[in-house]
């Protein structure tokens, strides 16, 4: 199956105009010389050239479309970007308004830009190569059909030059302005030669012959240019250019761990980390795990398609596949799968029976409503793109386990159907609000497409976050989430889509629940205290109200803590070391409702040390160490230790 960064930052749109595929009839210029036909009236030629220059002076630009040099009275020769000579007008011109210039050049056709490099090159000023012989142009071969014509213009008239790398690039298109500039510079050269008695009768005859031979082609070319101008105008008026960028992420893991004593876990069966139950006395069933995991290797990958239609919008489509599971999942109580000691990217990302299948992870469309407000809508929006971010716990670069990379109680819907609005109030404040109905890719069934649940009958959340930047180095986030939770097939509420619960809850006697509602409050901060030191942390409080037959049975109240240190650029620029201490689920009240995750009254604690070291802009390694005490909230449990080496590839 298939499933999303497109921090698309906004993606610039590009308009591509297809060139006319038709070609002019081939003309053999290899035998053309400037010695045959034309007789030119010198006075008329001079008058025509002056008229051309006067026309240019009226609009204030060279034939190439470039502004005239600011040199009143100057007589030096300037060069346009194709290397064609054009003199500076000896005139004192009034300033030209932008609107006048736009009107004067409205019919111009811009050169077709095929690559970004060419586009940048067209903007940058060009220094041209001075050449005196055609052989100095490295990309003009002797057998080129226009070789003799170019040789004559370069060697006899000196009105054509090359690029700095001594190329001519004869296959590039030119605008009518550029054609006029080249023609004008060659007429100036001829006028100079005539004035200096340097033009022979054979040269004038050749010019006359060429003008007669190409009369039909020039007329046809003029008609084609007019048609192209009309087509371009229509395309510009109705353009709809889509730009899609493909990006990929691959995460490879070598993972293992060990215990220093048998581990107690609340499960119905020792080998099943998803089902909890009660014994005849009504107490949660407890299993003992006395094995150690083997060293394992796994992968996790995303393929991202970020598209833009206007340049300020973004369509995000992300596919996911994987085959991994963290070694720590051997020891978790039911409802705690992929929590402690588990790197975020060490997972399948798909339903458990769909290893190596491809699923859609994200599908959403974002666009601006105004200069300060944007909206994201879609069937599978990633909640974590918008809420509870932290510069030192971003799972790709900092603290990376499920419990350290985000708040453990804040959100029941990882990906969902709905909308998120972001309002940039000021440089130091923003406000975000989102409503999402559960539609997460890794669940065996999804609520929104199910007619029995839909948008409002399944799990859904309403989240609101105020982001503040009181000083330049500090980020503070205040988050509130209101959730509606639904039970699993056994009537228990908890697991991956039931935060703020951490584990599984029933009615306290082994009976099923109908639903639950929850309120969660979180404070999240990061502070770049020094160039080499950062501080980060979270505190959250969540209360889950359990419902059966429309009756409120009671609530499970809990809190969580996180505090950490970060070391930017440790040993290398772009590297990041982090130390994170977490208490993921400290139960304050309602432990009797937990069929799994409550333990014996203990409080689980975690210490994570991670270091991301970039090998190149596209490759990084991240070794991590996790130490878990009082796992599953059992005081009697020993210590757990896990090691993970992650390799990241970006393309």
**CATH at residue 521:** 2.40.160.10
Name, in order, each residue with C-beta under 8 angstroms of 198's C-beta and a sequence gap of 6 or more.
192
Which structural domain, as residue segments, surrounds residue 67? 42-237
Q: What is the mean pLDDT of residues 557-570?
A: 97
Domain annotation covers residue 377: yes
Write down the pLDDT at residue 220.
84
Based on the domain organization, do 224 and 260 belong to the same domain? no
Based on the domain organization, do 232 and 247 belong to the same domain? no
Write down the pLDDT at residue 99.
41
pLDDT-derived band at 4, boundaries 50, 70, 90? very low
pLDDT-derived band at 339, boundaries 50, 70, 90? very high
Residue that finishes a domain, picked among 174, 206, 237: 237
Burial category of 541 from C-beta neighbours within 10 Å (exposed 0-12, middle 13-18, buried 19 and up): middle
- Give CA–CA dist 398/567, Å, rounded: 10
Based on the domain organization, do 483 and 594 belong to the same domain? yes
Based on the domain organization, do 400 and 350 belong to the same domain? yes
Write down the pLDDT at residue 448.
77
pLDDT-derived band at 532, boundaries 50, 70, 90? very high
- Give CA–CA dist 60/66, Å, rounded: 9
Name, in order, each residue with C-beta under 8 angstroms of 358's C-beta and a sequence gap of 6 or more.
1, 2, 3, 319, 320, 321
Q: E strands of 278-372, at which residues?
A: 286-289, 296-308, 314-322, 359-368
Which of the residue ranges 27-36, 463-472, 538-547 would you say has the lowest mean pLDDT? Answer: 27-36
Based on the domain organization, do 214 and 230 belong to the same domain? yes
pLDDT-derived band at 511, boundaries 50, 70, 90? very high
Burial code of 567-605, b = ≥16 C-beta within 10 A, e = fewer?
bbebeeeebbbbbbbbbbbbbeebbebbbbbbbbebebb
Based on the domain organization, do 290 and 435 belong to the same domain? yes
Based on the domain organization, do 290 and 257 belong to the same domain? yes
Q: What is the mean pLDDT of residues 185-213?
A: 76
Based on the domain organization, do 483 and 626 belong to the same domain? yes
Domain annotation covers residue 17: no
Residue that finishes a domain, picked among 237, 256, 282: 237
pLDDT over 60 (residue 63): no
The answer to whether 231 touches 237, Cβ cutoff 8 Å, is: no
pLDDT-derived band at 630, boundaries 50, 70, 90? very high
Based on the domain organization, do 226 and 290 belong to the same domain? no
Kindly compute the dihedral angle of the four CA atoms of residues 192, 198, 199, 201, in this order, to the nearest 10 degrees: 150
- If one counts every other C-beta atom within 10 angstroms of the C-beta of residue 409, the result is 26
Residue 454 phi, psi (nearest 5):
65, -155
pLDDT-derived band at 415, boundaries 50, 70, 90? very high
**Mean pLDDT taken over the chain:** 81
Q: What is the mean pLDDT of residues 424-432?
A: 97
Return the axis-axis angle of helices 176-195 and 42-59, rounded to nearest 10°. 140
Half-sphere exposure of 201 (CA within 13 A, CB side): 0
Residue 448 structure tokens? 């929104």
pLDDT over 70 (residue 36): no
Write down the pLDDT at residue 344.
95
Name the more confident of 585 and 74. 585
Name the more confident of 8 and 61. 61
Instruction: Please give, one letter per residue, the 3-state secondary structure of 476-520.
Output: EEEEEEEEEECCCCCCCEEHHHCCCCCCEECCCCCCCCCEEEEEE
pLDDT-derived band at 240, boundaries 50, 70, 90? low
Which of the residue ranges 83-87, 305-309, 468-472 would you say has the lowest mean pLDDT? Answer: 83-87
Name the more confident of 165 and 551. 551
- Give CA–CA dist 64/179, Å, rounded: 8
Based on the domain organization, do 209 and 290 belong to the same domain? no
Domain annotation covers residue 460: yes
- If one counts every other C-beta atom within 10 angstroms of the C-beta of residue 265, the result is 26
By 3-state DSSP, what share of the chain in percent is helix, strand and coil, each rounded to 5?
Answer: 20, 35, 45
pLDDT-derived band at 95, boundaries 50, 70, 90? very low
Q: What is the mean pLDDT of residues 37-41?
A: 40
pLDDT over 80 (residue 319): yes
Write down the pLDDT at residue 28.
40
Kindly compute the dihedral angle of the four CA atoms of residues 404, 409, 415, 417, in this order, to the nearest 10 degrees: -160
Q: Which DSSP helix (H) or strand (E) runs through 561?
A: strand 551-568
Write down the pLDDT at residue 199.
61
Write down the pLDDT at residue 338.
92
Based on the domain organization, do 265 and 226 belong to the same domain? no
The answer to whether 447 touches 418, Cβ cutoff 8 Å, is: no
**pTM above the 0.85 mark?**
no
Domain annotation covers residue 24: no
pLDDT over 90 (residue 211): no
Name, in order, each residue with C-beta under 8 angstroms of 33's C-beta and a sequence gap of 6 or more.
148, 152, 202, 206
Domain annotation covers residue 465: yes
Write down the pLDDT at residue 285.
95
Based on the domain organization, do 147 and 258 belong to the same domain? no
CA 644 to chain centre: 28
Domain annotation covers residue 9: no
Number of domains in the chain: 2
Write down the pLDDT at residue 158.
78
């Amino acid at each position: 199956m298939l499933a999303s960064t497109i921090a698309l930052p906004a993606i610039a749109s590009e308009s591509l105009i297809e060139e006319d595929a038709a070609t002019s009839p081939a003309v053999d210029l290899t035998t053309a010389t400037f010695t045959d036909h034309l007789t030119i009236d010198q006075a008329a030629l001079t008058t025509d050239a002056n008229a051309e220059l006067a026309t240019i002076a009226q609009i204030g630009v060279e034939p190439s479309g470039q502004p005239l040099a600011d040199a009143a009275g100057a007589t030096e020769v300037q060069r346009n970007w194709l290397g064609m000579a054009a003199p500076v007008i000896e005139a004192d011109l009034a300033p030209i308004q932008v609107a006048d210039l736009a009107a004067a050049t409205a019919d111009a056709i811009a050169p077709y830009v095929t690559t970004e490099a060419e586009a940048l090159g067209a903007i940058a000023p060009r220094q041209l190569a001075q050449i005196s012989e055609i052989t100095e142009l490295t990309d003009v071969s002797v057998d080129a059909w226009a070789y003799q014509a170019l040789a004559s213009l370069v060697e006899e008239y000196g009105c054509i030059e090359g690029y700095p790398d001594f190329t001519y690039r004869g296959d590039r298109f030119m605008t009518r302005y550029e054609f006029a500039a080249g023609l004008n510079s060659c007429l100036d050269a001829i006028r100079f030669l005539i004035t200096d008695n340097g033009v022979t009768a054979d040269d004038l005859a050749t010019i006359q012959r060429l003008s007669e031979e190409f009369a039909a082609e020039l007329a046809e070319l003029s008609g084609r240019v007019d048609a192209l101008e009309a087509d371009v105008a229509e395309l510009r008026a109705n353009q709809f250019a889509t730009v899609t960028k493909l990006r990929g992420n691959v995460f490879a893991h070598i993972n293992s761990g060990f215990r220093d004593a048998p581990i107690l876990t609340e499960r119905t069966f020792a080998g099943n980390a998803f089902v909890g139950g009660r014994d005849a006395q009504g107490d949660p069933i407890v299993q003992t795990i006395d094995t150690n995991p083997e060293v394992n290797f796994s992968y996790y990958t995303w393929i991202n398609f970020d598209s833009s239609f206007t340049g300020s919008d973004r369509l995000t489509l992300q596919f996911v596949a994987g085959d991994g599971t963290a070694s720590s999942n051997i020891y978790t109580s039911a409802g705690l799968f992929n929590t402690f000691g588990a790197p975020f990217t060490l997972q399948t990302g798909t339903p458990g029976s769909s290893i190596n299948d491809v699923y859609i992870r994200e599908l959403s469309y974002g666009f601006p409503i105004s200069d300060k407000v944007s909206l994201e809508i879609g069937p599978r929006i990633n909640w974590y793109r918008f809420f509870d971010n932290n510069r030192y716990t971003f799972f790709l670069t900092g603290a990376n386990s499920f419990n350290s990379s985000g708040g453990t109680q804040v959100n029941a819907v990882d990906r969902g159907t709905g909308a998120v609005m972001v309002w940039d109030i000021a440089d130091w404040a923003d406000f975000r609000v989102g409503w999402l109905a559960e539609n997460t890719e890794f669940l065996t069934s999804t609520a929104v497409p199910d007619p029995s649940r839909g948008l409002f009958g399944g799990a859904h959340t309403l989240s609101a976050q105020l982001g503040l930047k009181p000083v330049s180095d500090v980020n503070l986030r205040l988050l509130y989430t209101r959730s509606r939770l639904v039970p699993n097939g056994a009537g228990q509420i908890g697991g991956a889509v039931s935060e703020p619960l951490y584990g599984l809850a029933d009615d306290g006697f082994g009976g099923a629940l109908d639903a639950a509602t929850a309120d969660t409050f979180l404070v999240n901060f990061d502070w770049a205290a020094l160039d080499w030191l950062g501080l980060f942390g979270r505190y959250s409080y969540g209360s889950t109200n359990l419902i059966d037959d429309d009756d409120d049975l009671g609530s499970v109240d809990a809190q969580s803590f996180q505090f950490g240190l970060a070391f930017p650029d440790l040993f290398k620029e772009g590297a990041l070391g982090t130390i994170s201490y977490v208490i993921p689920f400290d139960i304050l009240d309602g432990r009797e409702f937990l069929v799994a995750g409550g333990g014996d009254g203990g409080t689980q604690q975690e210490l994570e040390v991670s270091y991301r070291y970039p090998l190149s802009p596209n490759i990084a390694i991240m070794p991590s160490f996790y130490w878990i005490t009082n796992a599953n909230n059992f005081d009697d449990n020993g210590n757990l230790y896990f090691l993970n080496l992650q390799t990241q590839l970006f393309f």
